[in-house]
């Protein structure tokens, strides 16, 4: 995990301030993993431990995965890199014009396809859950979640086994109870999701 933290720092992917997250929550820390993932070597290094853990669980018979799916935008490169390291196909879900998560671009899910969802950062798991609903309606079965940074607050459950390159704490609040808003510090929204 220390190597991943160093890679995040080298890439200037760990930001501090007052941020509006894609989940709608506020935080004092933001992980802009795109800054890390723009370097293929760093992306490969950051995700190599995740891939090794997934391979070990597949070999032990405790996990089954046939493909990797990443919610757009943040999960696309993560899904590709994990797919490459695991030797599996990788694709992505994306939002349509109404903002609903969907599967397009000719990607298909065969019934029973066992899917690993791949994300850059997990805070609440909302994007992963939205993707899972779409993939499972099409006949797939989500078996695990992987990410570069797991920043879930203590006690926030994951719907599947989670494989994280780094688990890092960062304060986060509902907008109406944000400690930084109470101090009058303006929030910035660096993420990709529109509200």
Q: Structural domains in the chain?
A: 2-182 (3.40.50.2020)
Residues 146-162 have pLDDT tens digits of: 999 998 877 778 889 99
CA dist list (Å): 117 to 16, 169, 176, 180: 27, 22, 31, 32
Residues 11-43 have pLDDT tens digits of: 999 888 999 987 788 999 889 999 999 999 999
* Percentage with pLDDT > 70 across the chain: 97
In degrees, rounded to 5, the angle at the alpha carbon of residue 187 between the alpha carbons of residues 174 and 173 is 15
Q: Which pLDDT score is estimated for 140? A: 98
Q: What are phi and psi of 173, to 5 degrees?
A: -135, 155
Q: Which residues contact 128 (CB under 8 A, 6 or more apart)?
A: 71, 117, 119, 122, 145, 159
Q: How many helices (H) and strands (E) does the chain have?
A: 6, 9
Between CA 138 and CA 187 the distance in angstroms is 38
């Amino acid at each position: 995990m220390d190597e991943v933290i160093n890679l995040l720092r080298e890439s200037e992917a760990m930001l501090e301030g007052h941020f509006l997250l894609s989940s709608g929550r506020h935080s004092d820390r933001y992980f802009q993993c795109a800054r890390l993932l723009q370097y293929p070597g760093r992306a490969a290094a950051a995700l190599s431990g995740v891939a090794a853990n997934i391979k070990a669980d597949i070999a032990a018979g405790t996990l089954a995965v046939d493909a990797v799916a990443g919610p757009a935008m943040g999960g696309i490169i993560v899904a590709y890199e994990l797919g490459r390291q695991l030797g599996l196909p990788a694709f992505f879900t994306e939002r349509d014009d109404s903002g609903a998560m969907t599967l397009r671009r000719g990607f298909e899910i065969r019934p029973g396809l066992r899917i690993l969802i791949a994300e850059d950062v997990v805070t609440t798991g909302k994007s992963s859950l939205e993707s899972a609903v779409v993939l499972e309606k099409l006949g797939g079965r989500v078996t695990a979640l992987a990410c570069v940074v797991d920043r879930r607050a203590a006690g926030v459950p994951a719907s599947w086994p989670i494989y994280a390159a780094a688990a890092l704490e960062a304060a986060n609040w509902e907008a109406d109870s944000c400690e930084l808003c109470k101090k009058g510090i303006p929030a910035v929204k660096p993420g990709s999701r529109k509200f």
